[in-house]
Amino acid sequence: MQREGSPWRGLGVVTGKELADHLSSVRILVIELLVVITGFVIVLVSLQQIRNVTAEDPFLLLRVFTRSGEQLSFVFVLTLLVPLVAIGLGFDLVNSEHNQRTLSRILSQPIYRDALLFGKFLAGLATIAISLTAMWMVVLGLALYQLGVPPSGEEIARAALMLVVTIAYAGVWLALAMLCSVVFRSAATAALTALGVWLFISILWPLLSGHLVNVFVPLQAGSPDELLSGLATRQAVMRLSPGALFGEIVSVLLDPSVRSTQQSQLAAMGLALVEPGSIPGAPLPLLQSVLIVWPQIVTLIASTIVLFVIGYVVFQRQEVRA
C-alpha cells in the first residue's frame, strides 16, 4: 500500500530540535568532557615519548594517535570510549518520548515515524561528530605545536580519514543504543542492556574468541598458506566485534607501512609478509591503504544500517500509547 506524502517530512525540524537538546544537556556535556580530557592526557604522555624516541619518522604526526603512552594508545582509548559516549547519548532517545508522554502528541503532527526516528539518529551522530572533531583538532593542534614539524598533506588526509571512520564506528553503537531505547520502555533497562553488549563485545569477546580459535583452529608454523588461512579464521571471528574492525581500519590508515591487516599478528610471531616485487617497509600510498580496509569500513556502515533498520521495524509496529 502506498503512503501519501514524504516519509522525511519534518526530518530537519526533528534533527534540529534533538541536536539543540543534546548540545544543552548536562549529561552530554559531562560525557564529552570526560572523553576530551582522557584523550588530552593520553596524547600529552605519548607526545613526551615520541619526541624522545623518533625524530626522524616521516609520519611523526600519525604516531601521536597510535603510539602508546605508558600503556594506552589514543586509538585504543577511542575504541573503548566512543561506544560509551554513543550509548550515553542514545539509550533514552525513544523511550523518553514514551515516558514523558510526548510520543502520541508528536506523532499526531503531520510527520511519519520515519522522520522522528531518523532525525533522532542524525542528531545523535551529529553531536558525536561535533565533539570528536573538536577533540581531533585539539589533539592535532597540540601535536603540531609540541613537535614543531609541519605535517604533510598525506598525514592530514590520513588523520582526517581516521576521524571519519571513528564517527562511523560511533554510528554502530548509537544505532545499537537506539535499538535498545526502542525495545525497552525503561531507560535503565535500555542503558544496562546496551552496556552489557558493549562489555561483552569489547572486552569478553576478544579474550574468548582467541581461546576458541586456539582450541578449534590451532596456529602452527606450517606452510605459509596454512598459517595465513589460520589467521584468516581467527580474524573472521574477531571481526564480530566492531571494536576489532575499527582497530584494523585505523591501524592500516594511520600506518603507511602496514600492508595487511594480518601484519601486526604476523609481526607478533616474528614473521613478515613479503609480496613479490614489493619493497618491504616502503610506505603505501593512501589509496592503497584505504583499499586494504575498504571491506571493514563497509562492514561498519552496514552494521549501523542493519541495527537502525531493526529498530525502525520495531518502532513502526509499536503502540504509541503510554
Out of 4, 56, 225, 275, the only residue in the binding site for another protein (CB under 8 A) is 4
Q: CA-CA distance, 263 to 266, in Å (whole number)?
A: 5
Query: Looking at beta carbons only, is 114 or 248 nearer to another protein?
Result: 114
Out of 80, 106, 129, 227, the only residue in the binding site for another protein (CB under 8 A) is 106
Query: What H or E segment, with its residue span, contains residue 185?
Result: none
Do residues 15 and 119 lie in contact, with contact meaning Cβ atoms separated by under 8 Å? yes
Q: Residue 109, Cβ neighbours under 10 Å: how many?
A: 11
Query: Looking at beta carbons only, is 106 or 197 nearer to another protein?
Result: 106
**8 scored as a contact of another protein (CB under 8 A):** no
Out of 19, 93, 111, 179, the only residue in the binding site for another protein (CB under 8 A) is 111
Mark the segment that binds another protein (CB under 8 A) among 2-10, 135-143, 173-181, 191-199: 2-10
Q: Which residue has the cell 595487511?
A: 260
**23 scored as a contact of another protein (CB under 8 A):** no
Q: CA-CA distance, 164 to 48, in Å (whole number)?
A: 27
Out of 8, 17, 84, 283, the only residue in the binding site for another protein (CB under 8 A) is 17
Do residues 46 and 73 lie in contact, with contact meaning Cβ atoms separated by under 8 Å? yes
Mark the segment that binds another protein (CB under 8 A) among 15-23, 35-43, 161-169, 262-270: 15-23
**185 scored as a contact of another protein (CB under 8 A):** no
Out of 65, 112, 118, 312, the only residue in the binding site for another protein (CB under 8 A) is 112
Sign (positive or negative) of CA dihedral 276, 278, 280, 284: negative
Judged by CB under 8 A, the number of residues near another protein is 28
Do residues 147 and 139 lie in contact, with contact meaning Cβ atoms separated by under 8 Å? no
**239 scored as a contact of another protein (CB under 8 A):** no
CB of 22 to another protein, least distance (A): 12
User: How many CA within 13 A on the CB side of residue 116?
Assistant: 24
Mark the segment that binds another protein (CB under 8 A) among 10-18, 129-137, 229-237, 281-289: 10-18
Query: Looking at beta carbons only, is 4 or 275 nearer to another protein?
Result: 4
Q: CA-CA distance, 9 to 42, in Å (whole number)?
A: 44
Sign (positive or negative) of CA dihedral 256, 260, 261, 267: negative
CB of 112 to another protein, least distance (A): 8
Out of 33, 51, 70, 104, the only residue in the binding site for another protein (CB under 8 A) is 104
Query: Looking at beta carbons only, is 107 or 164 nearer to another protein?
Result: 107
Helix boundaries (H) for the chain: 11-23, 26-53, 60-66, 74-90, 95-99, 103-107, 113-147, 153-183, 187-199, 205-216, 224-238, 242-254, 263-268, 286-317
User: How many CA within 13 A on the CB side of residue 106?
Assistant: 21
Touching another protein, residues 129-168 (CB under 8 A): none
**Which of 134, 212, 147, 174 is closest to 300 using CA atoms?**
174
**236 scored as a contact of another protein (CB under 8 A):** no
CB of 123 to another protein, least distance (A): 13
**105 scored as a contact of another protein (CB under 8 A):** yes
Touching another protein, residues 82-101 (CB under 8 A): 100-101
**314 scored as a contact of another protein (CB under 8 A):** no
- Residues of this chain that interact with another protein (CB under 8 A) are 1-5, 9-10, 13-14, 16-17, 21, 100-102, 104-112, 319-322
